[in-house]
């Protein structure tokens, strides 16, 4: 079994991005800018946003932090998004989800300029992803593909089973795998005979949000197991895969933490750099 080291791979991506930012700065005098918008005081969201801004600094990106109170109106947030859309120093806009109840998240995501939509959630970018010509694709799914590529794991012709059909992980990772010529099966809470389906996977992606959901009975010998889950059990981060027994059967497996998680933020930075280069 090979442990897929997302921390190491994401570190390499970040080093490459930092070098490219320096080169572009020398050539153009400009640097990529990422705006993060945090509404309210959810502690987990605050940590995510802080990390993103910290990494911006490390890579030589400009970061524009916007913190709004939890009672912010939808109108006020839409107005801020318009301002960020118009700001030429900003190439990527990230609105941290979840948003408070009085704000319709869909409306906000649709207001972001698709060229600055570094999360890849705007319907235009989702459509382009399905067609197969998207520049900005969702960060976690793209990070998964980069991990597979880094370890030279064959995707083409393989049976990829994705458990979970969310718009942020399950669906986009399925589209990316399909684009790379995998045969895909998408499973969800109504899937019948789930174990049978997952046992037929060459590549199994677990994006369920339930600790230790994927048990050893659900996995065949030699499967590549990608664990997207982030669950807190007794204060400890745990994935969706029952790691110890499953790792004995898997050919490759991502740990939690240190697998898919660190890739997400690296890919966010990569998307911001792509959007910046498009703007030049």
CB of 185 to ligand NDP, least distance (A): 12
List helix spans (H) across 212-260.
Answer: 243-249
CB of 244 to ligand NDP, least distance (A): 19
| Residue 252 near residue 1, CB atoms below 8 Å | yes
User: Contact with ligand NDP (CB under 6 A): which of 23, 43, 152, 189?
Assistant: 189
User: H or E stretch including 160?
Assistant: strand 159-163
Nearest-angstrom CA–CA distance, 230 and 238:
6
Catalytic-labelled residue, pool 66, 113, 116, 119 = 119
Query: Does 188 participate in binding ligand NDP (rule CB under 6 A)?
Result: yes
CB of 254 to ligand NDP, least distance (A): 9
Q: Which is nearer to ligand NDP, 32 or 262 (by Cβ)? A: 262
User: What strands, in cross-sheet order, belong to the sheet with 33-39?
Assistant: 62-68, 33-39, 92-95
Query: Does 184 participate in binding ligand NDP (rule CB under 6 A)?
Result: no
Stretch that binds ligand NDP, among 47-55, 57-65, 115-123, 223-231 (CB under 6 A): 223-231
Which residues in 145-164 contact ligand NDP (CB under 6 A)?
A: 163-164
| Residue 271 near residue 139, CB atoms below 8 Å | yes
CB of 76 to ligand NDP, least distance (A): 26
Size of the site for ligand NDP (CB under 6 A): 24
- The reply to whether 52 belongs to the active site is yes
Mask for 46-65, x = binds ligand NDP (CB under 6 A)? --------------------
Dihedral angle of Cα 119, 98, 230, 52, to the nearest 10 degrees: 50
CB of 108 to ligand NDP, least distance (A): 17
For residue 175, give Cα distances in angstroms to 75, 107, 186, 227. 33, 24, 10, 18
By three-state DSSP, how is residue 93 classified?
A: strand
User: H or E stretch including 197?
Assistant: helix 194-199
Residues of the shown chain interacting with ligand NDP in the complex, contacts defined by CB under 6 A: 140, 163-166, 168-170, 187-191, 194, 207-209, 228-231, 260-261, 264
Active site residues: 52, 96, 119
């Amino acid at each position: 079994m090979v442990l897929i080291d997302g921390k190491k791979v994401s570190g390499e991506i970040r080093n490459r991005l930092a070098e490219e930012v320096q080169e572009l700065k020398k050539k153009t005098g400009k640097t990529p800018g990422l705006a993060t918008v945090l509404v309210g005081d959810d502690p987990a969201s605050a940590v995510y946003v802080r990390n993103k801004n910290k990494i911006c600094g490390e890579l030589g990106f400009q970061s524009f932090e916007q913190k709004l109170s939890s009672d912010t109106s939808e109108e006020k947030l839409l107005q801020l998004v318009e301002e960020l859309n118009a700001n030429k120093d900003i190439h990527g806009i990230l609105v941290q989800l979840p948003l408070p109840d009085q704000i319709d998240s869909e409306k906000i995501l649709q207001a972001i300029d698709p060229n600055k939509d570094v999360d890849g959630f705007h319907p235009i970018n989702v459509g382009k992803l399905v067609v197969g010509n998207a520049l900005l694709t969702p960060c976690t799914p793209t990070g998964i593909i980069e991990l597979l590529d880094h370890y030279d794991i064959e995707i083409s012709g393989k049976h990829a089973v994705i458990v979970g059909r969310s718009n942020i992980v399950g669906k986009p990772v399925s589209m990316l795998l399909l684009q790379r010529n995998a045969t895909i099966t998408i499973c969800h809470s109504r899937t019948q005979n789930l174990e049978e389906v997952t046992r037929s996977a060459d590549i199994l992606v677990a994006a369920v949000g339930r600790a230790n959901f994927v048990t050893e009975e659900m996995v065949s010998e030699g499967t590549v197991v990608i664990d997207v889950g982030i669950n807190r059990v007794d204060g400890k981060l745990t994935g969706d895969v029952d790691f110890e027994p499953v790792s004995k059967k898997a050919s490759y497996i991502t740990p939690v933490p240190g697998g898919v998680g660190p890739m997400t933020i690296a890919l966010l930075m990569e998307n911001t750099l792509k959007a910046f280069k498009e703007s030049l």
